[in-house]
Structure 1
Amino acid sequence: MRVDLVIHPDVGSPERTILHIHGGGFVFGSTRTHRFLAAQMSRACRARVVLFDYRLMPGHSIGSSIRDCMTAYEWVAATYRDSPLVLSGDSAGGNLMLTVLSRLHSDGRRLPVAAVGMSAWLDPDYQHPAGAPRDSFFSLRFARRAADLAEPRSAITPLEAALPTVPVLLQCGAEEPIGPANHALVEQLDGNGVTAELQMWERQPHVFQMLAPFTREAVAALDAVDAFLSALNQREVPTKPSAARSTPPPPGA
């Protein structure tokens, strides 16, 4: 398994460690495709960011992908045991992120201090309503074809598994078809008293955070991730059920 450690030059001593699971519909993507995003995450969050290559469909099973994610998490947790550990993922990586959280909880293993999903693809069976706004960067046809490769299908339906018990931040474009599933997850977490927040960004494409530092929205979104994590450190994010909410982008975004 290839593992890349990314620390932005502007970061002196990292304050936290982020293990990021790259997206790509379970069929493509790598440390190379996401290294630039990792560098921007490192800068914004003053963190070391760990990327890794997991086995992809159709050459490998979805079970292999999940096992690689679990292995990477255990390695990072052991290697940086004295650093606050955050688990993140974009698109299909956000799906795998939730699966990892569920398995860690079920197995009684060390949990991360928080989880961050960027345009997390959580519902492979989503049907886009006729006439609804569409995000041209997210192809439902491609998503369904990729999802059909997964066996068993339940392996990529994390909303049906055990819910996370750690604070969760979700971000997505307001026109993305993955929005309803992200909102549903926040509502479920809210009902369980878990700190959660959904940030819907107007006129932003799928995984728009990858556009940092070239768009102000992408920069602001990564800064919002840092604000969420920093607030947890300062115990400013409430843990009562009302913590789950949907918010617009920060002023000026």
Structure 2
Amino acid sequence: MASSEIDRVRALLVSRPRPSDLAERRERLDWLGSLSTMPGDVRVEPAEAGGVPAEWTSTPGADPARVLLFLHGGGYVSGSLASHRVMVAEAGREARARTLALAYRLAPEHPFPAALEDALAAYRFLLGSGIAAERICLGGESAGGGLALATLIRLREAGEPLPGCLWCASPWADLEMSGASIETKDAVDPIIHRPYLAELATAYLNGADPRGPLVSPLHADLARLPPTLIQVGSAETLLDDSVRLAGALAAADVAVTLSVWPHMIHAWHLFHQQLAQGRASLAQLGRFVRNHLAEEV
């Protein structure tokens, strides 16, 4: 990878720093998503998944019975269908699956457990629509990665069928922010820093225990979860969330793959059209999904 690629992404982020106003923050993340162009062969269809606004995307090679259910990032307070649309479509292309992206409710207007309730509703919608659990990959980026894990924990506790595999991209799995990389990677991470995370956690938790397993799944019982792919950049303050999460999953006898991408920043997948490493990480995801989701019989 030419260092100039990631340097240009860093310069782009510096050119439009995160504002303090919540509405402007949400608009900025949508703007970042708009920098990528949707390929002409992608079909986009608005949907409602168990009462939650959602969006299907599919490419010509997609198996209609194989679904990637995606939960966007944005710290539980921002992110949308628009912000991650192109990236999600490319992930589906690599997985040869349809994607269902979810516009779950956001804090502070809708704090915990609203997002979790929406994710559960969408997953149950897929099951009710005839999609077999073993042909679903549940995926999430950043806060969406933590939300995906929380969703699986709730499903397991309820005795409901779990998806065939899990994808966590730069997951935020510890709202207590106890990982050492919060400090050791602060100088190289252009996006995520402790004060910002603390602000997000306060908005989402709304008084809930930051060590609770459904908000910080790093502290949960992770037994009997499906095969998991964790992708994280080495330049992330959340690096230790992924490293510790992989260890906790392994200790719980879960098949887990931890993939650390040198020099990559938080949520670099979003810039896959600008980064060779973004494209390669989505290709890795595609292989993982194809290897773990059951073939149609």
TM score, norm. by length of structure 2: 0.74
Give the aligned partner of residue 246 of structure 1: none
Distance in 2 (CA, whole Å) between partners of 1:102 and 1:4 is 24
Q: What SS does the aligned partner of 1:2 have?
A: strand
1:103 aligns with 2:163: no
Q: Retained in 1: the 8 A contact 2:142–2:267?
A: yes
Matched residue, 2:80: 30
2:5 corresponds in structure 1 to: none
**Which residue of 116, 121, 124 corresponds with 1:71?**
121
Distance 1:209 1:80 in 2: 30
State the 1:14 CA deviation: 4.0
Using the alignment, how far apart are the partners of 1:130 and 1:109 within structure 2? 40
Within the candidate set 259, 272, 295, 1:212 is matched to 272
Give matches, 1:69-218, under 5 Å: 69-82=119-132, 84-126=135-177, 128-129=182-183, 133-149=187-203, 150=205, 151-153=207-209, 154=212, 155-163=214-222, 165-218=225-278
Q: How far is the alpha carbon of 1:77 from its aligned partner?
A: 2.2
- The aligned residue for residue 106 of structure 2 is 56
Q: Which residue of 1 aligns with 2:291?
A: 231
The one-character-per-residue Cα deviations of 1:167-188 (angstroms, maximum 9, x if unpaired) are 0000010121111121111112
Given the superposition, is the C-alpha separation of residues 129 and 115 from structure 1 closer, same or farther in structure 2, using an over 3 Å criterion?
same
CA shift in 2, pair 1:233/1:112, >3 Å: closer
Distance 1:131 1:158 in 2: 22
| Alpha-carbon shift at residue 137 of structure 1 (Å) | 2.0
Distance 1:141 1:79, change over 3 A: same
Contact 2:186 2:193 in 1 (8 A): no
CA displacement 1:66-116 (0-9 Å, x = unmatched): 111111111022224247100000000001001001001111001000000
Aligned residue for 1:62, secondary structure, equals: coil
CA apart distance, 1:130: 5.0
User: What is the CA–CA distance in structure 1 between the aligned matches of 2:159 and 2:168, rounded to whole Å?
Assistant: 22
Q: Distance in 1 between matches of 2:187 and 2:235?
A: 6
1:17-54 residue CA offsets vs partner (Å, 9 max, x unmatched)? 00001111111111111111111111111110001211
Work out the CA distance in 1 between the residues paired with 2:185 and 2:218: 26
Cα deviation, residue 4, structure 1: 0.5
Aligned pairs, number: 234
CA offset digits 1:173-204 (Å, max 9, x no partner): 01211111211111122122211011000111
Bigger radius of gyration among the two? 2
Q: What residue ranges of structure 2 are gaps of 5+ in the alignment?
A: 1-51
Over aligned residue pairs, what C-alpha RMSD do you find?
A: 2.0
Aligned partner letter, 2:215: I
Calculate the TM-score normalised by the size of structure 1.
0.86
Identity of aligned residues (%): 27
Question: How far apart are residue 129 of structure 1 and its match?
Answer: 3.0
